[in-house]
Amino acid sequence: MRYVVVLLIGVLLISGCSDQTPSSNLAQTPSNYSDQTPSQTNNTKTIKVKYLQKLDTEFTSQDEEIVATFEDIVNQAEKRPGILNYVAEYKLEFINAEQKIGTYHLSLGTDRTMLGLLVNTSNTHQGYEISIEHANRLRELLLER
C-alpha cells in the first residue's frame, strides 16, 4: 500500500500541471492573443496542433482561413469558473514569423453535444469554455486531417 502511495505522489510531482517550456511571449488569456502578436513585418501565421493521445500526430497549417478560425474560437472562449480537472487531448500553438506567441491545451472529446475546454499553458488553473458550435467546428477541422 505504501508503495502505491509513493508511486502516485511521484507521478503527480513529475507530471505537474503546467507546461515547462520557457517563453515570455505567451498570452495570458485567449482574448489577448492578438495583443501578443509581434510586429507584422512577416505576416505569416501558423497554427500547430498536436494530438497528445497518439505519437507523431501533428497538424500544421498556414492557411489564412484555418488560422483565422482557430484565432476566432480562442478569442471567443469564455472564462470558466472553478477548479479544473481535465486531460489535454491537443497541444495548440500559434506561431507568427517563427515565434511562438500562444500555447494552449485543448480538450474536445467526440461527443458533439459537449463544450470544448481551452487552457492556456501559462496558467493551467484557469480554463475557457468553447461553445458547442465552435467545438464541433474544431472537431471537423481536426478530423479532416
pLDDT on residue 127: 95
Within 10 angstroms of residue 34's Cβ, the number of other Cβ atoms is: 14
pLDDT on residue 8: 40
pLDDT on residue 48: 92
Per run of 10 residues, the mean pLDDT along the chain (length 145 residues) is 40 39 35 43 80 82 92 93 90 85 92 95 93 96 80
pLDDT on residue 96: 85
Tell me the C-alpha distance between 2 and 67, whole Å.
49
pLDDT on residue 63: 92
Q: Tell me the three-class secondary structure of the chain, residue by residue.
A: CHHHHHHHHHHHHHHCCCCCCCCCCCCCCHHHCHHHCCCCCCCCEEEEEEECCCCCCEEEECCHHHHHHHHHHHHHCEEECCCCCCCCCEEEEEEECCEEEEEEEEECCCCCCCCEEEEECCCCCCEEEECHHHHHHHHHHHHHC
Tell me the C-alpha distance between 144 and 116, whole Å.
18
Write out pLDDT tens, residues 41-79.
457 899 999 999 876 788 899 999 999 999 999 999 999
Q: Domains in the chain and their CATH numbers?
A: 17-144 (3.30.1490)
